Amino acid sequence: MILKDPAKDSIKDPFVPLTIPGALEKNRNGDQKSLLGNQKNLLKGEKASLKNQENSLRMEVKNLDAWYSSGQVLERINLPIFENEILALIGPSGCGKSTFLRCLNRLNDLIKSFRLQGQIKLDDFDIYDPGIDLAILRRKVGMVFQHPNPFPMSIFDNVAFGVREINRRIKRTELAEIVEESLRQASLWDEVKDKLNVSGLSLSGGQQQRLCIARALAVRPEIIMLDEPCSSLDPVSTAHIEELLLMLRADYTIIIVTHNLAQARRISHRMAFFLSGRLIEHGNTAEMSIRPQCEETENYLCGRFG
C-alpha cells in the first residue's frame, strides 16, 4: 500500500478524464466540468489512487481458503493485485478461477453453502469485514460476466441503470453524457447511437458483451473483473474486446479470467496460474511464458493438458 501524498493528490485529480485515445475527444473539450463534478459525486468519499505509480498495491489476497457444499474449492491463495495492471487468471476449467473472482466482489455471498477463510484486502481494508458496505465495494470492483447478461431494458437504460441507482436525482443531460461516454469507451457507441431505445437483448452476442462492459464502466469502478468475457464470442468480437481492455488499462485495474492462453499472453501484464483450487504460480506474463517456475505451469502453457 502506498502512502497518500497530499501534494500529489491535489495536483493529480484522481478522477482524471479517461485517457482513451480518440474515444473521448468530444468530451475532453466541452462538457468535461460537469462530467467531472458528477464523477466526484458518484464516488463520494473514496480514497484517491495515484496514477503515476505503476506498481502500487491495490488488492491483496492472503491465505484464502474457500468451500462450497461440495468441498474445498480454493486453497491457500496468496496474490497481490496492482494498480493499472491487467492480471490474467489462467487454468483449466473447474480450477477455481471464477470462484476466486467472485470472492473479490463478494458475489459468492449469494451462495448459501459458500464459506471462506483468509483475508482479501482492498486498499488495506478487509472486504469481508462485517461492517463493510457491499454496495460501495461492488461499485469499486465492477464485474463483467462470462455470458453477456444485459437487462431486458433499452440499451440506454442498461447503461444508465447503475448510475441512476447511485444518484437518483441525476440530470438527464448528465446521464446521457455518462451513457454516451461509457458506450464510447466500450467502443459500442457508433453501432448503437441511433437505437438507444431498442432493447439490449436485440444486439448480437459481441455487442451485448460490450454493452455489459459499458454498463460496468458507467458507474466508474476502479477495478474491473471479467470472467471469461470472450468465451461465447467470435474472433472479431474478441479482438474488439481485447483492444478495449488495452485502452482501459490506463484508468482501471483489470482482472480477467481466460481460457485462452494466447489471449492472456496478448493482453496481460501478469498471469496467475490456478490448478485444482491452488494458485500454482503468478508473475510477469513474459517471464512466466518463457521460464515458468513450476512443472505444472510449464505443462499447461505448453498445452500438455487443460
Residues in touch with another protein (CB under 8 A): 105, 107, 110, 112, 134-140, 142-143, 145, 147, 149-152, 154, 161-162, 165-166, 198-199, 201-202, 212, 215-216, 219
What is the rounded distance in angstroms from the CA atom of residue 42 to the CA atom of residue 45?
A: 9
Please report how close the Cβ of residue 172 comes to another protein at its closest, in angstroms: 18
Nearer to another protein, 105 or 207 (CB): 105
Grid cell listed for 24: 473521448
Of 123, 121, 137, nearest to 77 by C-alpha is 121
Q: Is 86 exposed, middle or buried (0-12, 13-18, 19+ CB in 10 A)?
A: buried
Cβ proximity to another protein, 173 vs 202, nearer residue: 202
Beta bridge partners of 227: 257
- Least separation in angstroms between residue 202's CB and another protein is 7
For another protein, which is the closer residue by CB, 108 or 285?
A: 108
Q: Measured from the CB of residue 272, what is the shortest distance to another protein in angstroms?
A: 21
Which residue lies nearer to another protein by CB, 7 or 110?
A: 110
| Shortest reach from residue 94's CB to another protein, in Å | 19
Nearer to another protein, 58 or 220 (CB): 220
> From the CB of 151, what's the least distance to another protein, in Å?
6
The residues, any chain, with a CB within 8 Å of residue 264's CB and separated by 6 or more, are 88, 90, 256, 258, 271, 285
Minimum gap (Å) between residue 247 Cβ and another protein: 21
The least distance separating another protein from the CB of residue 152, rounded to whole angstroms, comes to 5
Nearer to another protein among residue 101 and residue 275 (C-beta):
101
Nearer to another protein, 210 or 215 (CB): 215
Place of cell 462450497: 68
Q: Which long-range contacts (CB under 8 A, 24 or more apart) does 74-80 make?
A: 74/99, 74/100, 74/103, 74/277, 74/278, 75/277, 75/278, 76/278, 76/279, 77/118, 77/278, 77/279, 78/279, 79/272, 79/279, 79/282
Q: How far is CA 157 from the centre of its chain?
A: 21
Q: What are phi and psi of 88, to 5 degrees?
A: -105, 130
Rounded CA gap, 247 and 21, in Å?
Answer: 8
